[in-house]
Structure 1
Amino acid sequence: MDHISHSGRVAGAIGHYLEENLGDLLERLSTWVTIPSIAADPDRSADVVRSAHWLAGEMRDAGMETTIFETGESCAVYGELIVDPEAPTVFVYSHHDVRHAKPEEWSETEPFTPVIRDGRLYGRGASDAKGQVLAHVWGLRAHRETCSERCGHLNVKMLIEGEEEIGSPNLAALLQEQAERFACDVVVFSDTIQWKADAPAPVTSMRGTLTATLTVFGPERDLHSGVASGVTVNPALTLSQVLAGFHDADGRVAVPGFYDDVEPLTQERAHEFAALPFDPQTWVERTETREIAGEIGYTLKERLWARPSIEVISLVAGDPAGFQRSVIPREATASLSIRTAPGQRIATVADQLRAYVAQAMPREAQYTFTVDEDIAQEPYVSPGGPVMDALERALTLGHGIPVQGRMGNAGGGPADLLTKTLGVPIYFLGTGLPEDHWHSSDESIDIGMLLQGAASIAHLWRELGSMPAELRAHREAAVAPVEVVSSEPEDSASVA
């Protein structure tokens, strides 16, 4: 490729190496994006396998030994570079499966036809998470090409699964079966975003995630509204009433006991959030959210990372498409996404939701309520200490800008599962941005962020390779509780 314009700033030997190889990196990412590795679509299972084999080839090209594990109908790719069995070992987690795309909603390109435009590479998976995975592969390349033997004294293992977008149903079994092979000193979780391209900040927490499906039943079949209007259960109306009761007028979740276990914001965490640059109007423009809403009394950052939430992500009843038939639908279904905050436990929240629905549902209505506890993921908070300090130094070097504050990840992932199974702490390092349109139309990755992310990863390997004693001592580290304070009002205003 010819010169590619981008806004990233990368310096030093690592930056020079990545800039020199940017065309190759983008060509490879573009090739990978053409593979529609949609794990949720049974018709795409062969493509998920193709994606895994393609990635295994990239890992081998970077010097890793690779193994492909079958996980249900999908595949996970494992690679390792062992320079010294006695050296510190880092384990990288991410995924290569992608979300379904609606081509009719894409305007920049077809979902699996990558294009580069205005400093971005467009295509499904370009950011979530194929771009992040290749940032690790090329970060490892840059580390090996620019480091002396001494600073390269670090073992790297990578597990890139193919089922994350469907809840990682086979990940726990794989981690247990391969626990000895996956042994490490620390996990770097790479499926997160950054705050802003010009304001790097480490992600230090991840909310938990739980999904549920509520279906309300009415007549035995769709019924002409003129025959029974006003005298039978309308499942669409009943479902809407139950859903509306999930929140009160102040934006709080109204499920009894829902906030009982949520950990209060600490003084330290409040200061970390406040240090992140924030402008309400800029946030609305970047995320295309039109306005800021949510729980009154908490800042936007707190709502995103330290408070739980309940969202309706799909709602189906009657004739949502095609010709109207003027009928009372026989059933109505809603899918829910619940994000849990530190302190909450999935099992407790699931019971609270079941109790609420049972109480809120009218006596005459029949319903089913399924809570997917098997694929739920608990929240996680990274410990402080030398590894976190090393991560901040790596971000500063990789982005060429001092870090500003610390953030959280509003979404979820199997961080808690990884730390419990492997017995080591988790740290987060992603290359995405809120404007990358994950799971939506016109997904893309900022080429500057891709470069800076790869550079940050290479610098992190240097940092960790120089601190074997600290890494091993850090395995059991935990963040000590500190003084609790009330919320800061700096970004709580609503924007029209």
Structure 2
Amino acid sequence: MTEETAAAQDAIGAFLGSHVDEMVERLSAWVGIPSVSADPERRMDGVRSAHWIAGELRDAGFTTTLLSAGDAITVFAERSGAPGAPTVLVYTHHDVRHAKPEEWSETAPFTPVLRDGRLYGRGASDAKGQALAHVWAQRALAAADGPDAGVHLKLLIDGEEEIGSPHLQGLLEGDPARFACDLVVFSDTLQWEVDSPAPVTTMRGTLTATLTVQGPDRDVHSGAASGVTVNPALVLSRVLAQLHAEDGSIAIPGFYDDVPPLSEERAAELEAVPFDPDDWARRTETRVIVGEEGFTPKERLWVRPAIEVISLLAGDPEGIERSVIPREAMASLSIRTVTGQRNHDVADLLRAFVADVMPSEATYRLEVDEDIAQEPYASPPGPMRDALERALARGYGHAVQGRMGNAGGGPAELLSRELAAPVIFLGTGLPEDHWHASDESIDLRMLVRGAATLAHLWRELAAAS
């Protein structure tokens, strides 16, 4: 019997396969709620989103509590499992990113539509689909093994993840008994390919900064003052250009001092993950692969740090041009750190670099948001990670190939530190799902296989105990 045949005959897979239409219907209803945490006008939509998923969880046998987190609502849910089983806390989120409707071609952002095996809509993959997979995993496990099967399960569904989870630490510190657990499963991540499961074992950290350069006291006529006035757009572009060397490496002095060399074991894990450059460019629509010389694309994504410019603003980017030298120019930076680096140290290095390269005639302001910075994290090897790999093979019907990383960030290190528990990663997204971009969608196969993997993981962990 092949692995695929065994998976098809599994009671968990059979249950989920028979409920795909209902899964799509329920996820569509949730995606239709525009829970954009960054938009104050959407605050009540965030509240409605929290109430919606709380209702689904209660229907699946959980007890739920709605926790205030600033202007948002975090959903907490729990249910008991088999006697003696470990307690697992799942972290995911129900808030979503802002969407620009004019850039969406498949559907309007909050009007979900099913097309060619994908459900389109903001949040379908990041991360409402991932959260709903836990609901259906529990339903499938209860149908297959009984209502008391599996682990003691707690779900923490954040309402502020897309704005950096500014109140998460306070929630954890304010009620440690509520969130106490033996293991954290972080469900806000990607898988590599729909038929090539690879466990995520590392997550890069995140540090954001805003650099504003001021020129004249107000916008001035480009002809009247051209040639004798500090142009902040030019100054900013020169500073940004110096962030990277010609070989693609980050040129900030000392930036790599705490980056450990790649171990032979980790190199072998990454090498085992199947990678085709043309397929990657096609799936992600990035056209070409660039970056730091001397490292493979997978190494650049998962074990090397990066700095990206994510927004630039100066002059008249929209509307009718006024032909002026702008008063100021602004750039937002996203810095991805790796295990070994600490965000506070990286922030200090950035401050020193900008001070050194900024022309003396320019006035600038550098704001580094350390309050919501997220440190990198690596899952420790051991029986819990081994159980995840067995569950992935069962849930996907394919053998695990290598171990990948998560190129983005999240509060994994915070959860591990505050709860004194290891973190493992299990998500249902794919690189081609267009997270944060237009036409976000989820592959229905990932939704079903992700839920199956979770159900098998709860089985594995309960049996191991």
TM-score past 0.5 threshold: yes
SS for the counterpart of 1:272 is: helix
**C-alpha distance in 1 between matches for 2:246 and 2:10:** 53
SS for the counterpart of 2:56 is: helix
CA offset at residue 85 of structure 1?
Answer: 7.0
Contact 1:39-1:166 at 8 Å conserved across structures: yes
Q: How does 1:105-254 map to 2 (within 5 A)?
A: 105-148=103-146, 152-254=149-251
Q: Deviations over 1:288-333 (max 9, x none)?
A: 1110000000000000000000000000000001111110000000
- Map of 2:377 onto structure 1: 380
- Map of 2:253 onto structure 1: 256
TM-score, normalised to structure 2, is: 0.97
Contact 1:10-1:455 at 8 Å conserved across structures: no
- Map of 1:471 onto structure 2: none
The letter for the 2-side match of 1:121 is L
Q: How does 1:6-45 map to 2 (within 5 A)?
A: 10-45=8-43
- Map of 1:408 onto structure 2: 405
Out of 56, 59, 74, the residue aligned to residue 58 of structure 1 is 56
**C-alpha distance in 1 between matches for 2:370 and 2:142:** 42
SS for the counterpart of 1:285 is: helix
Contact 1:35-1:51 at 8 Å conserved across structures: yes
**C-alpha distance in 1 between matches for 2:454 and 2:190:** 14
Q: Deviations over 1:169-198 (max 9, x none)?
A: 000000111210111110000000001111
**C-alpha distance in 1 between matches for 2:8 and 2:201:** 24
CA offset at residue 20 of structure 1?
Answer: 1.1
Do structure 1's residue 67 and structure 2's residue 69 form an aligned pair?
no
CA offset at residue 87 of structure 1?
Answer: 2.9
**C-alpha distance in 2 between matches for 1:211 and 1:140:** 37
Out of 299, 302, 322, the residue aligned to residue 299 of structure 2 is 302
CA offset at residue 83 of structure 1?
Answer: 3.4
**C-alpha distance in 1 between matches for 2:95 and 2:261:** 35
Q: Report the CA distance shift for 1:345/1:53 in structure 2 as closer, same or farther (over 3 A).
A: same
- Map of 2:352 onto structure 1: 355
SS for the counterpart of 1:430 is: coil
Of all paired residues, the percent bearing the same amino acid is: 66
**C-alpha distance in 1 between matches for 2:87 and 2:201:** 20
The letter for the 2-side match of 1:405 is G
Q: Report the CA distance shift for 1:149/1:51 in structure 2 as closer, same or farther (over 3 A).
A: closer
The letter for the 1-side match of 2:12 is I
- Map of 2:450 onto structure 1: 453
CA offset at residue 82 of structure 1?
Answer: 1.7
TM-score, normalised to structure 1, is: 0.91
Contact 1:93-1:159 at 8 Å conserved across structures: yes
Out of 313, 316, 324, the residue aligned to residue 310 of structure 2 is 313
Gaps of 5+ in 2: 1-6
Contact 2:93-2:160 at 8 Å conserved across structures: yes
SS for the counterpart of 1:466 is: helix
**C-alpha distance in 1 between matches for 2:319 and 2:150:** 62
CA offset at residue 147 of structure 1?
Answer: 1.3
CA offset at residue 86 of structure 1?
Answer: 4.3
The letter for the 2-side match of 1:280 is P
Contact 1:11-1:400 at 8 Å conserved across structures: no
Contact 1:256-1:356 at 8 Å conserved across structures: yes
- Map of 1:293 onto structure 2: 290
Q: Report the CA distance shift for 1:142/1:463 in structure 2 as closer, same or farther (over 3 A).
A: same
The letter for the 1-side match of 2:198 is A
The letter for the 2-side match of 1:225 is S
Do structure 1's residue 463 and structure 2's residue 460 form an aligned pair?
yes
SS for the counterpart of 1:376 is: strand
SS for the counterpart of 1:205 is: strand
SS for the counterpart of 2:177 is: coil
Contact 1:10-1:398 at 8 Å conserved across structures: no
Gaps of 5+ in 1: 1-8, 469-496
The letter for the 1-side match of 2:25 is E
**C-alpha distance in 1 between matches for 2:71 and 2:150:** 37
Contact 1:216-1:331 at 8 Å conserved across structures: yes
CA offset at residue 88 of structure 1?
Answer: 1.1
- Map of 1:340 onto structure 2: 337
Contact 1:10-1:451 at 8 Å conserved across structures: no
Alignment RMSD: 1.0
Would you say how many aligned residue pairs link Structure 1 and Structure 2? 459
**C-alpha distance in 2 between matches for 1:459 and 1:440:** 32
Out of 270, 275, 280, the residue aligned to residue 278 of structure 1 is 275
**C-alpha distance in 2 between matches for 1:10 and 1:309:** 41
Q: Deviations over 1:266-307 (max 9, x none)?
A: 111101100011111111111111100000000000000000
Out of 367, 370, 374, the residue aligned to residue 370 of structure 1 is 367
Do structure 1's residue 426 and structure 2's residue 427 form an aligned pair?
no
Contact 1:10-1:399 at 8 Å conserved across structures: no
CA offset at residue 71 of structure 1?
Answer: 0.3
**C-alpha distance in 2 between matches for 1:452 and 1:100:** 28
**C-alpha distance in 2 between matches for 1:104 and 1:83:** 47
The letter for the 2-side match of 1:13 is A
Q: Deviations over 1:372-412 (max 9, x none)?
A: 00000000000111111110000000000000000000000
The letter for the 1-side match of 2:345 is T
- Map of 1:100 onto structure 2: 98
Q: How does 1:83-94 map to 2 (within 5 A)?
A: 83=81, 86-94=84-92
CA offset at residue 10 of structure 1?
Answer: 4.7
Q: Deviations over 1:105-136 (max 9, x none)?
A: 00000000000000000000000000000011
- Map of 1:473 onto structure 2: none
Q: Report the CA distance shift for 1:302/1:241 in structure 2 as closer, same or farther (over 3 A).
A: same
Contact 1:10-1:452 at 8 Å conserved across structures: no
SS for the counterpart of 1:226 is: coil
**C-alpha distance in 1 between matches for 2:151 and 2:70:** 32
The letter for the 2-side match of 1:193 is L
